[in-house]
Structure 1
């Protein structure tokens, strides 16, 4: 079964970009391969109304020497502001927990100023969760302060969880390994991360089954966040968070996407995506015809539309 997604610990080795937890990590926002251009946080797009965007055509950047079948995990020390840095792992079945998650309430991540809102606006009421960088279901970490950041409910459930579930399902089903790295992205001395970069790569099949490189936005629609402190408040009418569009704009985007999908369904040429695996197929490729009757079928106008949604092209 293929598990590519759309729509991201002491190890065998640790590259330089994992050892410095105080650096604001630079990433690409335009889904190209310009890794050498020194893309900064400012190059990431404004929150587009979806929980994440794909980076570098959804291709991660792991060192070949880390592509091993030996499980490992490593976490960065907290920086001078008490912030988490890079968490890196090679997820194997032997890392996964055998018991339910323990209590993590003793950990107060940087920027932890929680606040309760109407449950129609925030699922569960409270805006913040203690968000694992490496999910508990992947490495069994409980109250590890090096692995917990302040993240919104939306960021945790709509943004990170689908990727974590995909990696977990793949490892459990195949007993293979997935290189997995999560990098919090901060603006200057802000205590709350603007989001995280999540990267993954299935080792035994060279990324055929699991491969992604995404930026997940730490936002909560309808709420304005002060990332410097962790304070939050209801968004004012007509105003947006620095990382948010208005709710109406988000609704408009959703409506437009629905119209695009309907229009694509009527097109003579279709790009067919699998919403579970996050792989897309072009006419003439293997499995293209079979995708027609898949319950996970998603139609795109073009390959670029699929890539922008975080999908990657089938290799066969």
Structure 2
């Protein structure tokens, strides 16, 4: 009988301890949504076990990306036409590459890729909403030196004189990130102001006006081991109204008119960026040749020879074989690839 009483006492005591512990946990003040989002972002960037299998760090991908959270299907540089004076181009009919499930998400989050072995940023992805947006002025970011960074001025050639800005992948006005090295790349003033800013301001104004969510993904695109990105891919989609308010998929060029840039290390020089060479010069005597086989990129409207290295990097849905002449293709709005028709 004594043993039974003692056993019951231990059971009651254990139950009381367990209830006490549960009460302490339940009684802790709940984190607000922004704190939760920050913790989730920290898990993604600092805790390898918190990432999906597909987002584990690996070697540079065939898209020219260092590696990233890597959702979506980032563009290949082979599909991007040479800069011709326009700060950005539309991709895939301006329709972002979010999944149908993602397009319905109203969960606040922000995720940043770890830097790769060269110190380069990867993809940044967030669901922009009022909970993420800052409520105070931006802090200093001058202590961050992104890959390829140089402090260089070209007085009277560039607005603000400085060639490079520390460009936020996800703008401060959208997610409140200050000196986050995983969110800052070496970008030209032109990329920052003429390329990215109009889309950042559009999303910022939309969220403030509606309180809705906007899926927002920015992917820096690097060629090979270059330390400076050739450009950035930007995607946006407003969730509650199914893209009626915000819907874009663009590539912004990391160039600066009037300045030449060595993307391998970020060095630069004063040199007018050349316009694309006329098509007749690119193709030489081939322009009026007899019919031949060409591979077309129906997205970028580029003509490639079948042996061009860009063909193997092309998305299958954009690839088309054509038997005919370059002149015929030019009349259809296509232009020759510079790589295989120097």
Match of residue 267 from structure 2: 231
1:124 counterpart (149, 153, 160): 160
Q: 1:8-87 to 2 correspondence within 5 Å?
A: 10=40, 23-24=60-61, 26=63, 40-66=76-102, 67-87=104-124
The Cα shift of 1:43 comes to 2.2
SS state of the match for residue 64, structure 1? coil
Matched, 1:172 2:216: no
Matched residues in 1 for 2:82 and 2:51: separation? Answer: 31
Match of residue 99 from structure 1: 136
Q: Residue 72 and residue 128 in structure 1: after superposition, are their counterparts in 2 closer, same or farther (change >3 A)?
A: same
Q: 1:277-288 to 2 correspondence within 5 Å?
A: none
SS state of the match for residue 208, structure 2? helix
Per-residue displacement from partner, 1:3-33 (whole Å, max 9, x unpaired)?
Answer: xxxxxx9369977776558545649xxxxxx
Q: 8 Å contact 1:21–1:85 — kept in the other structure?
A: no
Match of residue 195 from structure 2: 159
Q: 8 Å contact 2:75–2:233 — kept in the other structure?
A: no
Matched, 1:184 2:184: no
Per-residue displacement from partner, 1:184-211 (whole Å, max 9, x unpaired)?
Answer: 0000000000000000000001111100
Gap regions ≥5 residues in structure 2: 1-37, 45-49, 65-71, 279-332, 334-342
1:218 counterpart (241, 250, 254): 254
Matched residues in 1 for 2:94 and 2:54: separation? Answer: 19
Q: 8 Å contact 1:21–1:84 — kept in the other structure?
A: no
Q: Residue 16 and residue 126 in structure 1: after superposition, are their counterparts in 2 closer, same or farther (change >3 A)?
A: farther
Matched, 1:245 2:279: no
Instruction: Name which of structure 1's ranges 139-148 and 227-236 shifts more when overlaid on structure 2.
Output: 227-236
Q: TM-score if structure 1 supplies the norm length?
A: 0.66
SS state of the match for residue 95, structure 1? coil
The structure 1 segments of at least 4 consecutive aligned residues displaced by more than 2 Å after TM superposition are: 9-27, 63-67
The Cα shift of 1:69 comes to 1.1
Q: 8 Å contact 1:24–1:188 — kept in the other structure?
A: no
Q: Residue 122 and residue 25 in structure 1: after superposition, are their counterparts in 2 closer, same or farther (change >3 A)?
A: farther
Q: 8 Å contact 1:25–1:41 — kept in the other structure?
A: no
SS state of the match for residue 131, structure 2? helix
Q: TM-score if structure 2 supplies the norm length?
A: 0.61
Matched residues in 2 for 1:245 and 1:125: separation? Answer: 23
The Cα shift of 1:40 comes to 2.8
Q: 8 Å contact 2:62–2:76 — kept in the other structure?
A: yes
Matched residues in 2 for 1:134 and 1:155: separation? Answer: 14
The Cα shift of 1:63 comes to 2.2
Pair member with larger Rg: 2
Matched residues in 2 for 1:227 and 1:15: separation? Answer: 31
Matched residues in 2 for 1:44 and 1:148: separation? Answer: 23
Q: 8 Å contact 2:167–2:185 — kept in the other structure?
A: yes
Select the structure that is richer in helix: 2
Match of residue 127 from structure 2: 90
Equivalent residues, number: 227
